[in-house]
């Protein structure tokens, strides 16, 4: 099974939509692209294997390859480097809504697949930036 994350970059945050086939599962918020903030950045585009992980301290989360995590974060908490945070909806002012619910719905989709022993992958693709930032440290910031 393969999920598709279609994202777009902004200077402060990376926003995306997570799809299973043609159906949107949730919105995703991430840290900005590395060229916008080298200290706090989203995962590179590519294909990653997903694996469920449970700890007593953090509960359930999903490992994205060996470089990131899908986890629920409160609306007032910004995503860290390599974190993909599901969101059900946004308020008019851009505040994320129903973050825990979005993560639980994603787990409900993926749990039966993992129980069957199937591999779940995440493919991350992005739209190119409509402009070039002069402060970008990477030549192609798209």
Domain boundaries, the chain: 2-126
Provide the pLDDT confidence category of residue 113 given band limits of 50, 70 and 90.
Answer: very high
Instruction: Quick: pLDDT tens for 48-103.
Output: 999 999 999 988 999 999 989 999 999 889 899 999 999 999 888 878 888 899 99
| Whether residue 28 has pLDDT greater than 60 | yes
Contacts for 56 with CB less than 8 Å, ≥ 6 apart:
none
Single pTM value for the model:
0.84
Provide the pLDDT confidence category of residue 131 given band limits of 50, 70 and 90.
Answer: low
- Paired with 24 in beta bridges are 19
Contacts for 126 with CB less than 8 Å, ≥ 6 apart:
6, 7, 8, 9, 45, 142
């Amino acid at each position: 099974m393969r999920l598709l994350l279609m994202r777009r970059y902004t200077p402060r945050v990376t926003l995306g939509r997570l799809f299973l086939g043609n159906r949107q599962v949730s919105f995703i918020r991430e840290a900005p692209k590395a060229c916008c903030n080298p200290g706090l950045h989203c995962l590179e585009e590519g294909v990653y294997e997903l694996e469920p992980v449970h700890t007593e301290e953090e509960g359930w989360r999903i490992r994205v390859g060996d470089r990131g995590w899908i986890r629920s974060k409160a609306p007032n908490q910004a995503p860290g480097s390599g974190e993909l945070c599901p969101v059900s909806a946004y308020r008019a002012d851009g505040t994320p809504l129903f973050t825990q619910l979005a993560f639980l719905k994603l787990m409900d989709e993926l749990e039966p697949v993992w129980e069957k022993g199937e591999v779940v992958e995440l493919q991350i693709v992005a739209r190119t930036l409509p402009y070039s930032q002069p402060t970008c440290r990477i030549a192609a910031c798209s």
